Structure 1
Amino acid sequence: MTLKELFAPFGLEAPPQAVRGITLDSRRVAPGFVFVAVPGVPLPHRQPLDGHAFIPEALARGAIAVVGERPLSLPVPYLRVEDARLVLALLARRFYGEPDTALTLLGVTGSKGKSTTASLLHHLLQAGGVGAALLSTVGLRLGDEKRPPVGHFTTPEAPEVYAFLREAADRGLKAAVLEVSSHALALKRVEGLSYRVGLFVSFYPDDHLDLHGTAENYFRAKALLVERSEVAVLHTALPHLEELKNRPHLLVGPGGEVRAEGVREEERGLRFRLQSPWGEGEAFLPLLGAYNADNALMAAGAALLLGLPLEGVLGGLATFPGVPGRMEVVRAHPFRVVIDFAHTGKSLEEALKTLRRTTRGRLLLVVGAAGERDQRRREDIGRVAARLADLTFFTEEDHRTEPLEEILRALAEAARREGGRFRLVPDRREAILQAVLEAREGDTVLLAGKGHESTLERGLEALPWNEREVAEEALRARGL
């Protein structure tokens, strides 16, 4: 596509130069790129970066056009707009040839359970013969091909989203499952997309308030997915449910049209009877945690809406391989080591309560709290750890530019008020080693907060990290 073609709908006269890419990150600019200068997001803990300050760098790297919100005179074509984030998405969609129109899109949002539900739905589609892509926190899938996630976001920026959809369409896949965060909806990373089915899994009002400000704004951001979907799959526990039901929908969960009866937690997973308008049957899901029954119901409901047979859906649930970093069992004997992404008080509470039910001995916990995030998380995590774990090793978890000692101090103070037992071990690798060396037969060691993530952020550095490999290294040091 040429610059002239790209900018034609926006009324900007531009030469017919070939466009090689679009980005809001000046570091990614290469000759032939269009640079979109996006104002930064104001957050309580830091001053926002402003993309306009990086225009000189983008030009030096070979940008052939710039989009921004300020009156500027530049040596290349410049498109001034009111909303650079919106235009970034619209330009990306146009540049990649509107790939969403060639795919059945399924969007998944929620405070917790997004990644598992999206991965389950992708698995059900693949098992049912519907070639599907997956864009998720835990990684990308193009059919059966696996790729690492794009960056540190649940949903990447619009150019990466549309590039991924373009590749999925070019490969002949028929559907794409997108894990859609509230950040992505509020920051317009998925503008232009409409969904055949939109799944709203759960809502916890105390999350991501650093960006959204209020629980109401947070909910409204997530509700945008429902508004952009032909059919919504809604959990019956959602707040403001009546407002969400003003469009075609399927209710899932207690009292809903798709529900689980007689949920039984076993050592290998969950068993329950799935009830639905399409029939009923016995289901087995090889995941720990009764809450995963809800994730399975959400994915099953969407698959059934798309026309997959009930027998195939039940078979797909039974063969689900799990999600990296989500209740991932690294070792089962003589003590259990489990990795989970739980990084808020609520999710940590769910994880610890789940593991307690199947732990004969003590419950040991390694956990931290992220820097440059809502500081109330530290209080919540510290209190939950003190109440539900027998011994906690407070450690680092992406402290970024915040002093790690301040985060550890906040965790310790919250735990101390609850009377919990804990140790402060700043280095995460050392904390995991100490927990594994401490464990005895019948204990469970939960490594919480990092899950699938491939980096550990210290200061301005993003260091390579693999929680499973670190856990296995500690087990070898133990002689296991």
Structure 2
Amino acid sequence: MTLKELFALYDRPAPATPVSGVSHDSRRVGPGYVFVALPGRRYDGHRFVGEALARGATAVVGARELELPVPYLRLPEEELRPALARLAAAFYGRPSARLWVAGVTGTDGKTTTTFILHHLLRQAGLAAGMAGTVGYDLGEGLAFPEGHFTTPEAPDVQELLAAMVAGGLSHAVLEASSHALAQHRLDEVAFDLAVWTHLSPEHLDFHGDMEGYFRAKAGLVERAPLAVLNTACPYAMRLAGRPHLSYGPGGDFELVRVSEEAGGLAIAFRSPEGRHEARLPMLGLYNAENALAALAAASAAGVAVERAAAALGSFAGVPGRMQIIQTEPFRVVVDFAHTPRGLAAALAALRPTTRGRLIVVIGSAGERDPGKRAPLGRTALEGADLAVFTEEDSRSEPTAAILAGIEQGARQAGGRAGKNYWLEPDRARALALAFELAGPGDTVLLAGKGHERTLERAGETIPWNEAELARRLLRLE
């Protein structure tokens, strides 16, 4: 790929200089890179043009009036993010065109659905890759990325897809977050299927309101030639005029019976191919819905439903999603639940199999939707017997202020500090406190961090592994 070829996308002349990469991050620029200076909420990429040039950038794309010693493609500011995706896709040879690609979106359930769908495709003999919140699989097993992005930036997306093509894969399953869709990170991905799990209030600080949130996610369905839609989600049904398969009550794929057992879920469901029985080794009745979405998506990829249903039984689960750390003398479970709805579902899933008290450790992220903090506190006290409120990526916000918001909801639910809830700003000490409170037959749910590998505090980001920390505190390793 040459600079001449890339700039030709915008009918701009440029020398036939070899290009070695496209990036919006000046720290990742190397010799021969094209640097795209994105404006942002906190940082303006134009401030880092000098650093990109010092690192060897061979061209710059931006919106400001600049005099530079390298070719400069100036575009309107609103076109910079789409340009980043377009240039990256061209540089990597538009890899999604050589793959069958499914995008999974929704407030809750998309990670589990992505993992299950990836598993079903592979068990059907298809060479499938995956990328999302927990990590990515290029055909050689799960790898963990840095940061907390559900969907990486456009150059990373295209690089991952290109690696899948180079590795001989034929299928890919991507989590598609609302931020990624709104910020054009997935603009140049040719989706073959869109899967919609559920929509509930989240990220409203970014999208403004539920309609803005809906419109961001609806873009995925509107781009794909076929969708899998949840009949139980009113927002999904607004898109039912497009070609789709449905799952849920009255849908093409419908649950007939779900029962929770010690080893997971026993499921009976109907599909256009008949009635089926399956076992899913996961906790939480709601995971039956995620499995149903994945079954419908696998069917859309050409997998026989009976074969996919049989493959559910060998699913190994999702790191940090209802992950059991120990069962005796009290049970400890790690889960990513970080929204009021997700937390309520996790607690409801654990209650029937908890002989004693249900204890939850939960926090709320800084610089993210403050409107969910009180509902989180209220949900914790309504769904659990005891709660420990703590940090969860406070970032630049004071942890005490975040905890005050959560505590407000706990008090609304009749909670009393030191009786049925505690405030512990340090997350490691919060886990230790919860274990001290627990007795035989109790369940401790460690919610909010799940699979994430870092904890973000003001001025620092520290390594974090909730499951490993829990095991150390419990002296299991």
TM-score by length of 1: 0.96
Runs (5+) with no aligned partner, structure 1: 42-47
Match of 2:75 among 75, 81, 99: 81
Whether 1:426 aligns to 2:425 is yes
Considering only aligned residues, what root-mean-square deviation do their CA atoms show, in Å? 1.3
Residue in 1 that maps onto 2:149: 153
Equivalents in 2 of 1:307, 1:192: separation in Å? 24
Q: Would the aligned equivalents of 2:231 and 2:237 in 1 still touch at CA under 8 Å?
A: no
Residue in 1 that maps onto 2:374: 379
Equivalents in 1 of 2:179, 2:408: separation in Å? 30
Equivalents in 2 of 1:210, 1:149: separation in Å? 25
Q: Would the aligned equivalents of 2:196 and 2:236 in 1 still touch at CA under 8 Å?
A: no
Report how far residue 144 of structure 1 moved: 4.4
C-alpha distance after superposition, 1:15-74 (max 9, x if no partner): 222211111111211222111011114xxxxxx321112212222222111101122221
Q: Would the aligned equivalents of 1:270 and 1:290 in 2 still touch at CA under 8 Å?
A: yes
Residue in 1 that maps onto 2:118: 122
- After superposition, residues 34-433 of structure 1 pair within 5 angstroms as 34-41=34-41, 48-82=42-76, 83-204=79-200, 206-420=201-415, 421-433=420-432
Q: Which moved more, 1:191-200 or 1:164-173?
A: 191-200
Q: Which moved more, 1:382-391 or 1:112-121?
A: 382-391
Equivalents in 2 of 1:418, 1:302: separation in Å? 40
Report how far residue 242 of structure 1 moved: 4.7
Q: Would the aligned equivalents of 2:277 and 2:309 in 1 still touch at CA under 8 Å?
A: yes
Residue in 2 that maps onto 1:45: none
Q: Would the aligned equivalents of 1:278 and 1:304 in 2 still touch at CA under 8 Å?
A: no
Report how far residue 126 of structure 1 moved: 0.4
Equivalents in 2 of 1:67, 1:460: separation in Å? 30
Report how far residue 241 of structure 1 moved: 4.4
Report how far residue 149 of structure 1 moved: 2.8
Equivalents in 1 of 2:146, 2:128: separation in Å? 18
Runs (5+) with no aligned partner, structure 2: none
Equivalents in 2 of 1:410, 1:235: separation in Å? 33
Equivalents in 2 of 1:98, 1:34: separation in Å? 17
Name the count of aligned residue pairs. Answer: 471
Residue in 2 that maps onto 1:44: none
Secondary structure of 1:92's match?
A: helix
Letter in 2 for 1:100: S
Report how far residue 400 of structure 1 moved: 0.3
Equivalents in 2 of 1:284, 1:311: separation in Å? 12
C-alpha distance after superposition, 1:153-198 (max 9, x if no partner): 1000000000000000011101000000010100000002222111
Secondary structure of 1:195's match?
A: coil
Equivalents in 2 of 1:158, 1:25: separation in Å? 12
Change over 3 Å in CA distance of 1:343–1:54 after alignment to 2: same
Equivalents in 1 of 2:208, 2:229: separation in Å? 24
Identity in percent: 53
Equivalents in 2 of 1:428, 1:147: separation in Å? 25
Whether 1:452 aligns to 2:447 is no
Whether 1:441 aligns to 2:440 is yes
Q: Would the aligned equivalents of 1:126 and 1:143 in 2 still touch at CA under 8 Å?
A: no
Report how far residue 265 of structure 1 moved: 1.2
Equivalents in 2 of 1:341, 1:237: separation in Å? 23
Residue in 2 that maps onto 1:33: 33
Equivalents in 2 of 1:430, 1:254: separation in Å? 44
Q: Would the aligned equivalents of 1:136 and 1:149 in 2 still touch at CA under 8 Å?
A: no
Q: Would the aligned equivalents of 2:359 and 2:387 in 1 still touch at CA under 8 Å?
A: yes
Q: Which moved more, 1:282-291 or 1:135-144?
A: 135-144
Q: Would the aligned equivalents of 1:198 and 1:232 in 2 still touch at CA under 8 Å?
A: yes
Equivalents in 2 of 1:240, 1:310: separation in Å? 26
Letter in 1 for 2:346: A
Secondary structure of 2:70's match?
A: coil
Equivalents in 2 of 1:343, 1:241: separation in Å? 22
Q: Which moved more, 1:403-412 or 1:313-322?
A: 403-412
Equivalents in 1 of 2:405, 2:209: separation in Å? 23
Equivalents in 2 of 1:197, 1:333: separation in Å? 43
Equivalents in 1 of 2:389, 2:467: separation in Å? 18
Q: Would the aligned equivalents of 2:139 and 2:167 in 1 still touch at CA under 8 Å?
A: no
Q: Would the aligned equivalents of 1:150 and 1:156 in 2 still touch at CA under 8 Å?
A: no
Equivalents in 1 of 2:92, 2:304: separation in Å? 34
Secondary structure of 2:225's match?
A: strand
C-alpha distance after superposition, 1:412-432 (max 9, x if no partner): 232123222211111111111
